[in-house]
Structure 1
């Protein structure tokens, strides 16, 4: 610690603290324009100059470290005159059209000029001479750059390079003048800019702005803190509301995003809320004509209840099923599964985790005792020595996590990418194992072979916390690097190096996603990664663990809430008599003791005539599930289908009743993000129409079916969840609204939550090592279908496309499906980038525009699943994993022809 004075007051601070940091820690204001904590400290604006005894010259507070015995003055006549002159110099090169500027009211330059009484510059600067050479850049659909208002603070450059870590904005020169080279001109699609808007969020003037900021002024709006409705990163943001309409999104300092947002979070979170094609009234289909007609809520609820009860009476409880939505709130999902169990009388309830991360839930629950991410996002992306990234493309699927991984690599973290494609991060990786699709188990066994053979394992952890080591050791002995190299099509020496890099790193998390889970051996792939972490002692420690990045905003919460055919809320098993009795007592009815069908089993059961009635809240299996023809046949086989949604989705078209719901911005609730953090969503707008919150619809429906469900607010529903769910017992709206950051398990009302799982030992007592033999994918290339097709997500769209497709800017950035081809395959077929390609599997044929390059290996292809013009799930394979019944999206055999 050092001791010094500021404005005559004695201060103490840690050595290395800057004068600005020390002053602000004591509530002393020093003006700045270029400085932004953690982003920029270049000291170019000179507004933060201070006096210090013994120094003739003024010192920049943002860059000068306080020294022992220093006597600092932050306000004086000399400093005021200096700051006024600096403001005049800045204004001499600044376009002062303040009244029409989008930043009017938020401009930091304007605020300081008002504070210091500076109205205008005393002369014209050099910039006016080159204004014609620095045109307004306004082609990007979201962001514009006006060089005439730029003050060269370089915040935008630094946030792009140091926080988003993309490097799309650069510093340049025009003669002796510094300029910002912004990527928002007519070639914006080719610049590498991700349109995340983080640059606009830190601009102190109106130089870089979001175009929609022109439509309001700060004093005209209110801001509502909520959670992003897209991926499960759980970014915190503010919805900006003017006259009952959301007009903008601003980033907030949440524990997962730290003021970052991606292009979807900043630009795709509200257009769909106000979309003209929102469902606004209940609809009932006339089966004789196939046409929908509008109905009152009373009629729709009464008719729906009557039909479900008739089916239950005629065919039995297990002829009904109900799906919850992983985009809905925890409270909505809880009420869906409660309705299915109390009113339908069955456990056949599920959510879209079945087709994305059910393998994680099943696999990690089996090996560790808890099927969730073990460590927080910040913990696995900051101060870690190495990251093992397997089957995950976070730059596109979880972009804010991708930004943090890029920053970690920039700061020296080693990166191992295991992926069949050249993703963005593979270009920054120390090692990229470009393995053959479907060979994850062989890869993991090969890594463990090297770790055991070279004695890179943690014997103490194995002895204390692991069971089944000898069986695993015997199995992986067969998986030499050479054998694994042949199976996976990778270099055996690179596999050895990757194993050493991961095992020897003090802090090294495994981060994975759907490239591991969406296989017919997905659960075994997950358990193999758990095996690897366990034998290296990287469980229950900071900067380590096994970390699935969950896909949708509340897919973790949907599983937590019991939207699973085998589990009540909190993963309490339906076939456990003591658990069942607890829920029977709480809910007041006998409950079915038999586990139900999984979602992927419901559709074949419908075709077979076993499932007669289906309730779907928010999901769109016609788009998101594999082998669409099989889904269509299932929908047509049902006697009664109810869809509760925001839009007339492909699935809703098959419904008998459609119930219009409210979006995340129109209701209260909570989401649980990928790191098990429970976060609030809040009502920002109330729209015209008869849309209702999911919980209100469900409560009406439950009562109409004869179950006496009291009307509860979302806060009261969370209280009920907490009473019945040990891991959520300490969570309440009161605590969340007070600003507490709670991650389950949170077992008591005063418990702070659990950031790192298994810190006191594995939840199940010991880690179960599961020896998994490599098995090939269910459908491999042959002479007729010689290519492997993989599917996935892209940066600009989200899941089933219903939300992001209603954002014109996102559609401008990426509005068409495509297929990636290796250049050698394309050359042999006579296909160039931009050509249309016919893609056929054993289940059908679609067309897509070709993108030719080196992202995929020869004999392999890749397509995004969002786009209706190339609906890839028409042709994917519905082969299922043995344990979780998850489909094998990542490997199916196709043939390609130039269209």
Structure 2
């Protein structure tokens, strides 16, 4: 430890601590403009200069770069230091256009604040200003070189923190500007429009264009909440002026560390204030086919009476109800409770059925808990090797992608296992560009090499697992050469990847829908678990099996019991005593039979086994495979009710639409991909007759004969905690407390004193012994043939989120990327006479759509890829509804198509 004084205050710090860090430790503020925490200091602004005396010698140096020495006497506000800072500010103003009154950053400019503090009103060095033109080519923000002080905070943020490296300092001397391309324009480079550089800017040089509509001092309130897009669980403030959200501001949350992606920063509030919101209850007139405005009493009475009529005539299992994986935990809990207590059935589910139900089922069977094992920060900051399988986080989970780029920059090795040349493949040490649908063969090949090389963890296997001898026998057959033939990869790359993963001290497996969305998705997940158990990389920091959940609350929807097999907290319907427990808690007899999965509800609707369906906030016409099949099912229902914000594709087929409210208009919680329960807080009230979703559900429950008291969101969470052991210590009050400090709580959190569980399976698996599942490779359900010779994969892009119900209401996102496209290999394109940008017809055995060809090498010959966001060419008209035998998850990632020039 090193001892020094700062402004006469004694302080003890570790060796290597800078003066700035030491000062912060004792609450002494030193001004900075260029400094960024956790980044190698730049020292370019010179504003943090301090006076340091040691052994009779005095020097002036920047506090952000100077490390503490034993016996230092530091003065942060001596007469000479203050004079130095004034001169520095004077020099900065010499090349800074001063127009504070009309500047968008007025009231939120550190340069302005420091000039006011040090009494610098104008420069004493008048001269020629930087007259480079303003760059407003980015859709969301503007760069004004005349306000830039070249502090490099934006450059360092993009390069060191975001890991994109999209901007740099161009030219030299007084002609220096920040640019995003060799032409210096933002729209021509690789900028992702995340806006983290803008938030880092200490002046008005970089400003969000929406700042033109408000000034910081006009903001009425800043409300801390959780992003409604992917399951990273980013925290940010929404800024409210005149009752409307006008902006967002990244917060230093546990999973995002102050970072946001373009969707979180710029696509998370326009939709809530959209004029397209459904504002009144609607009942379809079946004579005209049109929806007509109704009162709440009319709509709720009709819904309750129709569902109870169907139940009386056809039995409780003729009804089903789906919860929304984008809604808060409290809403989801009430939906599944309504289905079980009022409908009298376990036919409840959520959209995890079509994305991550394989994770829930697979990890539950092998480890005892169907959830991510380690926190995001742990698997990106503490890892030596990251194995990324079937996941494109730069686009689907961008802030996780940023943290993986940071890890690579730090020296972490990266293995990418993906059929496409995703962005991170360029940074990977090894890219296994495997054939879609061959994950099980790949994993067995990895295990074959590990065992062949003697790199398995025999002690871990003996003490903590079962089934090893069986899996050892199976993987004997999966030699690198055999796996290379199945997966279309280099056998030597497979060997290198296996050895790299096995030898690393800390190596997490991170995977996503490229593993789960297959007819063998559950076995794919269990194969990820097999690999980790084989080398003992579970229950330890920087390791684990880590599914990145797709939507903001897919984890929470499963946790809350929106499942035909599980009550809240994964308490199994089929397990002894579970139904009886909930009968006692809820005060009514319950159905003891396992319910119908969502993906099986639609076929049952066609056969009239299911006659009434209630959907809260999902859009299966857009999201589910084989769109024609889904539409036929919805049309076959006797009665269909939708609780929604917008007139979606699915809404067209409803008998009644009940308008709810967005995450910005309610209290609640989301559970992110790392099991972290975080608060959602009400920021605005949108005009109209929309109602709080839990109030709608509670009113329906009472009308259907169940005496459900009206509860606030906080009271619902208290009920959840009372019946869900893993949530026993979680409450709104605790999440809002200083003890938790805005960091959320990771379940299991069984008591009010429990701190939560960052890493699962420490010392012991939830099921006791971890199980090696004996997985054999089985080809995908539909493979190419002469008529349909190309494999189609589907996925997400950076600028949109699932059905675009939210991001599609932000015009700038639609301008950046607003239309359907299909990526195809140049070899296939040449054979078919198709050029980049051509209109093409894409057909499968289920349907045909038009799209635009993007020709290149991102996909291999014989393979193609499409997003499913866009109505002008939705891939789900083509995809195959073949289902996984365990999780009943559809095979989105592999179907056979043909492509023709339109």
C-alpha separation in 2, matches of 1:13 and 1:412: 27
> For the Cα contact (< 8 Å) 2:180–2:189, is it kept in 1?
no
2:546 is equivalent to residue 547 of structure 1: yes
> Aligned partners of 2:183 and 2:213: how far apart in 1?
22
Q: CA deviation at 1:184?
A: 12
The answer as to whether partners of 1:145 and 1:184 remain within 8 angstroms in 2 is no
1:44 match: 44
Matches within 5 A, 1:55-454: 55-126=57-128, 128=129, 130-131=130-131, 134-174=132-172, 177-182=175-180, 188-221=186-219, 222-454=221-453
1:469 is matched with: 468
- 2:49, 2:434 → 1: CA distance? 55
Q: What residue is the counterpart of 1:28 in the other structure? A: 28
Q: CA deviation at 1:712?
A: 0.3
Task: Tell me, in whole angstroms, the C-alpha distance in 1 between the residues paired with 2:531 and 2:127.
Answer: 62
SS in 2 for 1:98: coil
1:730 is matched with 729
- Rounded to whole Å, the distance in 1 between the matches of 2:90 and 2:533 is 62
3-state SS of 1:496 partner? helix
Cα deviations across residues 519-578 of structure 1 (Å, max 9, x unaligned)?
A: 000000000110010010001000000000000000000000000000000000112241
Report if aligned partners of 2:261, 2:399 keep a CA contact under 8 Å in 1. Answer: yes
Alignment equivalent of 1:827, drawn from 826, 830, 840: 830
1:715 corresponding residue in structure 2:
714
Cα pair 1:144 1:184 within 8 Å, conserved: no
Aligned partner of 1:658 in structure 2 is 657
Cα distance, 1:729 vs structure 2? 0.5
Shift of 1:817: 1.1
| Deviation string, structure 1 residues 12-63 (Cα, Å, up to 9, x no partner) | 1101110111111111111111112124621111111111124444111110
Aligned to 1:619: 618
Give the aligned partner of residue 759 of structure 1: 762
Cα offset, 1:176, TM superposition: 5.9
**1:866 match:** 869
Asked whether the equivalents of residues 787 and 894 of structure 1 are also in contact (C-alpha less than 8 Å), the reply is yes
Structure-2 residue corresponding to 1:785: 788
Secondary structure at 2:360 match in 1: helix
1:893 maps to: 896
Structure 1 unaligned blocks of 5 or more: none
CA shift, 1:863, in A, is 0.2
1:315-350 per-position Cα deviation (integer Å, ceiling 9, x unaligned) = 000000000000000000000000000000000000
SS at match of 1:626: coil
Distance 2:199 2:81 in 1: 29
CA contact 1:183–1:193 (8 Å) conserved in 2: no
2:531 is aligned to: 532
1:488-508 CA-partner distances (Å, limit 9, x unpaired)? 000011100000000000000
- How many residues align? The count is 895
CA contact (8 A) 1:386 1:505 kept: yes
Contact 1:285–1:656 at 8 Å: present in 2 too?
Answer: yes
1:841-852 alignment runs, 5 A limit: 841-852=844-855
Judging changes above 3 Å, is the alpha-carbon distance between structure 1 residues 189 and 149 closer, same or farther for their aligned structure 2 residues?
Answer: closer
For residues 390 and 37 of structure 1, what CA distance do their matches in structure 2 show? 31
SS in 2 for 1:791: strand
In 1, distance between residues paired with 2:48 and 2:184?
37
Contact 1:140 1:185 in 2 (8 A): no
Per-residue deviation, 1:384: 1.0
Match of 1:776 among 770, 773, 779: 779
Task: Give yes or no for contact 2:170–2:184 (8 Å, CA) kept in 1.
Answer: no
* Contact 1:820–1:851 (8 Å) recurs in 2: yes
User: For 1:196-237, what per-residue CA distance to the aligned partner results, in whole angstroms no more than 9, with x for missing partners?
Assistant: 000000100000011111211112111000000000000000
CA distance in 1, matches of 2:667, 2:11: 45
- The structural deviation recorded for 1:824 is 1.0
Larger mean CA deviation between 823-832 and 701-710 belongs to: 823-832
Q: 1:240 to 1:690 in 2, by over 3 A?
A: same
- CA displacement at 1:187 relative to structure 2: 5.8
Per-residue Cα deviation, 1:140-161 (whole angstroms, up to 9, x for no partner): 1101100000001000000000
Deviations 1:448-501 (A, max 9, x none): 000111111100000000100000000000100000000000001110000000
Question: Is contact 2:240–2:247 with CA below 8 Å preserved after alignment?
Answer: yes
Q: Distance in 2 between matches of 1:518 and 1:830?
A: 32
| SS of alignment partner, residue 562 of structure 2 | coil
Q: Distance in 2 between matches of 1:11 and 1:708?
A: 62
Q: Aligned runs of 1:737-748 on 2, under 5 Å?
A: 737-739=736-738, 740=740, 741-748=744-751
The structural deviation recorded for 1:5 is 1.2
1:807 corresponds, among 810, 816, 827, to 810
CA shift, 1:185, in A, is 8.2
Large movers: runs of 4+ above 3 Å: 54-57, 174-178, 182-190
TM superposition shift of 1:188? 4.1
CA apart distance, 1:365: 0.1
CA positional deviation for 1:186: 9.3
The answer on whether the counterparts of 2:366 and 2:771 sit within 8 Å (CA) in structure 1 is: yes
Which whole-Å CA distance do the structure 1 matches of 2:865 and 2:610 have between them?
34
Unaligned runs of 5+ in 2: none
1:174 positional shift? 3.7
Report if aligned partners of 2:569, 2:725 keep a CA contact under 8 Å in 1: yes
Residues 179 and 185 in structure 2, CA contact (< 8 A), matched pair in contact too = no
Inter-partner Cα distance in structure 2 for 1:666 and 1:811: 25
Cα distance between partner residues in 2 of 1:190 and 1:840: 34
Q: Deviations over 1:156-175 (max 9, x none)?
A: 00000011000001122245
Q: Which moved more, 1:9-18 or 1:555-564?
A: 9-18
Indicate if the aligned counterparts of 2:781 and 2:882 stay in contact, CA closer than 8 A: yes
Q: In the superposition, relative to structure 1, how do residues 801 and 755 fare at CA in structure 2: closer, same or farther (>3 Å)?
A: same
1:238-285 superposed Cα distances (whole Å, 9 cap, x missing partner): 000001000001100100000000000000000001011100000000
After superposition, the CA RMSD in angstroms is 1.1
Residue 281 of structure 1: SS of its match in structure 2?
coil
CA distance in 1, matches of 2:681, 2:183: 37
Structure 1 residues 186, 615: closer, same or farther in 2, change over 3 A?
farther
Kindly state the Cα deviation for residue 6 of structure 1 after the two structures are TM-superposed.
1.3
How far apart, CA to CA, are the structure 2 residues paired with 1:379 and 1:148? 41
